Chains A and B, each alone.
Chain A
Amino acid sequence: MSGAKPSPAPTVFDWTPARPASSLEYVEGWGMAAGSHVRVLRPRSTEELAAAFALAKREGVTLGLRGTGNSYGDASLNERGWVLDTSRMNRILAWDPRTGVATLEPGVTIEKLWKSILADGWWPRVVSGTMFPTIAGAAAMNIHGKNNYAVGTIGDAIREFDVLTPAGEHLTCDRERNADLFHAAIGGFGMLGAFTRIVLETKKVHSGDVRVRAKSTRTLGEMMAYIEAHRGDADYLVGWVDCFARGRALGRGLIHHANYVHEGEDPDPRASLTVEHQELPANILGVFPKDQVWRALRLFNHDLGMRAINFAKYHAGWVEELDEPYLQSHAGFAFLLDYVPNWKWAYGRKPRELGLIQYQSFVPKETAEATYRELLERCQRAGLVPYLGVFKRHRPDPFWLTHAVDGWSFALDFKVEPVTRERLWKLCHELSEVVIAAGGRFYFAKDLVLRPEDARRAFPSDKVERFRALKLRHDPDGVLQTDLWRRVFAAPTR
């Protein structure tokens, strides 16, 4: 084409998108009771993550770290700044099927992890009740599962991690190197830096199934006695409580007790260690699509309906208890509700309704039974009865701001309605007084109601002070903030 005039610079399709990608969205907590319209940055690499920190610093704006947004409350919200969503950094960097050690980018979800390692005969050692959280979110909240009493939290399964601090340092942390940051960032709800790489140990399994048995319990005391008696032999223990039952039936419920299948017991582990074997069908009875089930649940989402459902579930437990132990897939046992898509919408969703909150407290074993009986009674007296109650056993761990105690936890799901919101928050504050008096703690992945004075009394002050000092060192400009941080730990400064 010599001699031809150079053609004008092409404008059509010649574009360089801004990095990291940025958009304006409504960002809410999983429970839908809190949220705000904010700018969301979605880096796809550590370089873009660093660019996001630099951009925020230049603009003088705070950043709230977020994964897939599965914390119930405001742990991943940042109404007064931007949200930094690391869920696009989601590659599995290394996987060793001999040792079961996985090296993960922060945005790898528990779902992606188990689906990638199961065929090799491994399962995540700690999983939440949903498979959708990212590994970085799980580490930041120090999540636990139905086996907390036996294996600890996810932090106990993390061998090491890399973190990028707002001060611009890339640090590798484990139990020896940067041990302070290791024990503070796990459970540090994203206030110290962004995880960029997490090395995780997983659990060898010899079948895709677990053996499950049910045990119906007539009181809370009976439930605690059963769990205490089987702490040594059960791999998973979780109790469901009918919060509507009162008087002598207070705390009645149903325990699910599960054990791994031992080597040699599953005649064909290769068939059960597949994703197909794990997942539940998308349709009920082959025709009714599960993603419409929430609409049916919605018809029962009021006190009378939920009282009836809890009643039915408790009595169905009498029958289930008579059955022989049965086999259930790992995913079916661990993540049952994930197979009812958007079931939370049954609670009523924003913009017109307010969803739900979960109030979960952790109380030492010595005071737990009396405390939880009082919590239930107070809810019933207030006329604000949780639609779901879940009871678990825990053990302490070395992470600075951990929720876990040598004791128990009780998670209560409350529907939030415009007319009850204020009363519900007041009730929760009353419950917190009871919990704190009993030496209890709280869990940031669930919380939306804690006040600064509650946190001050519930968490050890030496740990909180060390945590603040560490934050000042790694985030001197206070770039990392969330609504949770400002609500519970920092007085508003402007």
Chain B
Amino acid sequence: MPQATAAPTLVSTPGKRALVIGASSGIGAALVEELVRRGYAVGAVARRASELQALASRAGGKVVIRAHDVSRFAEVPALFEDLVRELGGLDLVVFAAGIMPEVERHEYDSEKDLAMLAINFGGCVAWCNEAAKLFRTQRSGTLIGISSIAGERGRKGNPMYGATKAAMNHYLEALRNRLAEVGVVVTTIKPGFIDTVMTRGKKTFWLIGPDECARQILAKAAKKKGETFVPSRWWFVGFVVRWIPSAIFRHMNF
């Protein structure tokens, strides 16, 4: 008889297995810790291995770490499979990777901008497409994308950062609409000011810590929210910002 070679079999039923992309700091790291507290096995992906190790020992529980630069798109399918097998299945994916370099008032730097595009949006697409394929076919799963209130309008401050977040909102909305028929939840989180390195040294208000932010994000996803602000009251800011007429908006500096 021909020789069967058995590949390791993955038997997965819905449970508590999560994957956080961009886990080394800020909201991503806080989410890993919160998920571990809630009994999840967590896959944590980020560029810096040392930070991941620190996170894993800080969080305790089952944390599977992998160092990876999200702009290396070609690595994603194999890495995704590796992590899902290690976790024994997958129920939740959070894409929280993102960079926001300083951009000068009249700086038009393609290298800087395209790096942002590759990491913030390209990375999101590369990871979320893998998650979408798995979640659609298994007809279960929750996908969370960490966007930003910066995606609401084209502000003078950082054209590409806002553009990547707007693109993310659009792309995730389409995934949400595609995957709704199989019961997969896609939640777009638009955080306001969160006390992380991204906001350090900036004028802020309504500031919350990343731990509180993580708790609120998971609560929103559990309620199957589509696009939502964290904390919720930023909805009001988003609403006002969206409705400022262009002729006025272009004279505003924020």
Task: Report how far A25 CA is from B85 CA in the complex, Å.
Answer: 11
Pick the interface stretch among A151-159, A378-386, A435-443, A484-492. A484-492
For A191, give the chain B residue with the smallest CB separation. Answer: B2
Q: Are B2 and A60 in contact (CB under 8 A)?
A: no
State whether the Cβ of B197 lies closer than 8 Å to any Cβ in chain A. no
Task: Report how far A493 CA is from B77 CA in the complex, Å.
Answer: 30
Task: Report how far A39 CA is from B73 CA in the complex, Å.
Answer: 18
A109-141: contact bitstring with B at CB < 8 Å (1 yes, 0 no)? 000000000000000000000000000000000
The residue among B10, B69, B114 with the most chain A CB atoms within 10 A of its own CB is: B10
Q: Are B181 and A291 in contact (CB under 8 A)?
A: yes
Q: A13-B118, A15-B72, A472-B2 are in contact. Are A351 and B7 (CB under 8 A)?
A: no
Which residues of chain A from 47 to 66 have a CB within 8 Å of any chain B CB? 60-62
Which residues of chain B from 86 to 122 have a CB within 8 Å of any chain A CB? 89, 111, 114-115, 117-118, 122
Q: Are B133 and A25 in contact (CB under 8 A)?
A: yes
Q: Are B5 and A351 in contact (CB under 8 A)?
A: no
Pick the interface stretch among B25-33, B47-55, B134-142, B225-233. B134-142
A323-342: contact bitstring with B at CB < 8 Å (1 yes, 0 no)? 00000000000000000001
State whether the Cβ of B246 lies closer than 8 Å to any Cβ in chain A. no
User: How near does chain A come to B91, taking the closest CB pair, in angstroms?
Assistant: 10
For B5, give the chain A residue with the smallest CB separation. Answer: A60
Q: Are A486 and B4 in contact (CB under 8 A)?
A: yes
Q: Are B7 and A37 in contact (CB under 8 A)?
A: no
For A349, give the chain B residue with the smallest CB separation. Answer: B139
User: How near does chain B come to A224, taking the closest CB pair, in angstroms?
Assistant: 41
Q: Are A17 and B181 in contact (CB under 8 A)?
A: no
Pick the interface stretch among A77-85, A257-265, A303-311. A77-85
User: How near does chain B come to A375, taking the closest CB pair, in angstroms?
Assistant: 32
State whether the Cβ of A18 lies closer than 8 Å to any Cβ in chain B. yes
10 other A-B residue contacts (CB within 8 Å) besides A24-B85, A37-B138: A11-B69, A11-B72, A17-B73, A26-B138, A37-B89, A38-B7, A62-B4, A81-B5, A291-B181, A493-B4
For A493, list chain B residues within 8 Å (CB): 1, 3-4
Which residues of chain B from 1 to 52 have a CB within 8 Å of any chain A CB? 1-7, 9-14
State whether the Cβ of B150 lies closer than 8 Å to any Cβ in chain A. no
User: How near does chain A come to B182, taking the closest CB pair, in angstroms?
Assistant: 8
Query: B interface vs A, CB < 8 Å?
Result: 1-7, 9-14, 69, 71-74, 77-78, 80-81, 84-85, 89, 111, 114-115, 117-118, 122, 130, 133-134, 137-140, 181
For B138, list chain A residues within 8 Å (CB): 25-26, 37, 350-351
Task: Report how far A471 CA is from B1 CA in the complex, Å.
Answer: 10
State whether the Cβ of A99 lies closer than 8 Å to any Cβ in chain B. no
Q: Are B118 and A62 in contact (CB under 8 A)?
A: no
For B74, give the chain A residue with the smallest CB separation. Answer: A15
Task: Report how far A61 CA is from B138 CA in the complex, Å.
Answer: 23
Give 5 nearest A-B pairs by CB, closest first.
Answer: A478-B2, A26-B138, A24-B81, A26-B137, A37-B10
Which among B2, B6, B122 is the interface contact of A471 at CB below 8 angstroms? B2
Q: Are B134 and A25 in contact (CB under 8 A)?
A: yes
Q: A11-B71, A13-B114 are in contact. Are A478 and B3 (CB under 8 A)?
A: yes
User: How near does chain A come to B125, taking the closest CB pair, in angstroms?
Assistant: 12
Q: A12-B118, A342-B181 are in contact. Are A21 and B77 (CB under 8 A)?
A: yes
User: How near does chain B come to A188, taking the closest CB pair, in angstroms?
Assistant: 14
Q: Are B12 and A37 in contact (CB under 8 A)?
A: yes
User: How near does chain A come to B79, taking the closest CB pair, in angstroms?
Assistant: 11
User: How near does chain B come to A143, taking the closest CB pair, in angstroms?
Assistant: 24
User: How near does chain B come to A261, taking the closest CB pair, in angstroms?
Assistant: 37
Task: Report how far A490 CA is from B84 CA in the complex, Å.
Answer: 30
For B73, list chain A residues within 8 Å (CB): 15, 17
Which residues of chain A from 23 to 41 have a CB within 8 Å of any chain B CB? 23-28, 36-39
For A81, list chain B residues within 8 Å (CB): 5-7
Task: Report how far A472 CA is from B111 CA in the complex, Å.
Answer: 56
Q: Are A82 and B7 in contact (CB under 8 A)?
A: yes
Q: Are B2 and A18 in contact (CB under 8 A)?
A: no
State whether the Cβ of A460 lies closer than 8 Å to any Cβ in chain B. no
For B4, list chain A residues within 8 Å (CB): 62, 80, 478, 481, 486, 490, 492-494
Task: Report how far A491 CA is from B117 CA in the complex, Å.
Answer: 52
Task: Report how far A486 CA is from B4 CA in the complex, Å.
Answer: 9
Q: A15-B73, A22-B78 are in contact. Are A477 and B3 (CB under 8 A)?
A: yes
State whether the Cβ of A475 lies closer than 8 Å to any Cβ in chain B. yes
> Can you give 29 contacting A-B residue pairs, CB < 8 Å?
A12-B118, A13-B71, A13-B114, A18-B77, A18-B78, A23-B77, A23-B130, A23-B134, A24-B81, A24-B133, A24-B134, A25-B133, A28-B137, A37-B11, A61-B5, A61-B7, A81-B5, A81-B6, A81-B7, A291-B181, A351-B139, A475-B2, A478-B2, A486-B4, A490-B1, A490-B2, A490-B4, A491-B1, A493-B3
Q: Are A22 and B77 in contact (CB under 8 A)?
A: yes
The residue among A12, A36, A38, A62 with the most chain B CB atoms within 10 A of its own CB is: A12
User: How near does chain B come to A326, taking the closest CB pair, in angstroms?
Assistant: 33
For A12, list chain B residues within 8 Å (CB): 71, 111, 114-115, 117-118
State whether the Cβ of A398 lies closer than 8 Å to any Cβ in chain B. no
User: How near does chain A come to B235, taking the closest CB pair, in angstroms?
Assistant: 30
State whether the Cβ of A2 lies closer than 8 Å to any Cβ in chain B. no
For A22, give the chain B residue with the smallest CB separation. Answer: B77
Task: Report how far A18 CA is from B78 CA in the complex, Å.
Answer: 9
Q: Are A27 and B137 in contact (CB under 8 A)?
A: yes
For B117, list chain A residues within 8 Å (CB): 12
Task: Report how far A472 CA is from B4 CA in the complex, Å.
Answer: 13
For A61, give the chain B residue with the smallest CB separation. Answer: B7
For A471, list chain B residues within 8 Å (CB): 2
User: How near does chain B come to A240, taking the closest CB pair, in angstroms?
Assistant: 28
For B8, give the chain A residue with the smallest CB separation. Answer: A80
Q: Are B122 and A80 in contact (CB under 8 A)?
A: no
User: How near does chain A come to B192, taking the closest CB pair, in angstroms?
Assistant: 29
User: How near does chain B come to A430, taking the closest CB pair, in angstroms?
Assistant: 29
A425-466: contact bitstring with B at CB < 8 Å (1 yes, 0 no)? 000000000000000000000000000000000000000000
The residue among B7, B10, B117, B133 with the most chain A CB atoms within 10 A of its own CB is: B7
Task: Report how far A427 CA is from B139 CA in the complex, Å.
Answer: 29
User: How near does chain A come to B92, taking the closest CB pair, in angstroms?
Assistant: 15
For B84, give the chain A residue with the smallest CB separation. Answer: A24
Which among B1, B81, B133, B140 is the interface contact of A478 at CB below 8 angstroms? B1
For A281, list chain B residues within 8 Å (CB): none
Task: Report how far A475 CA is from B13 CA in the complex, Å.
Answer: 34
User: How near does chain B come to A129, taking the closest CB pair, in angstroms?
Assistant: 23
For B137, list chain A residues within 8 Å (CB): 25-28
Task: Report how far A342 CA is from B182 CA in the complex, Å.
Answer: 11
User: How near does chain B come to A293, taking the closest CB pair, in angstroms?
Assistant: 12
For A471, give the chain B residue with the smallest CB separation. Answer: B2
State whether the Cβ of A168 lies closer than 8 Å to any Cβ in chain B. no
For A69, give the chain B residue with the smallest CB separation. Answer: B137
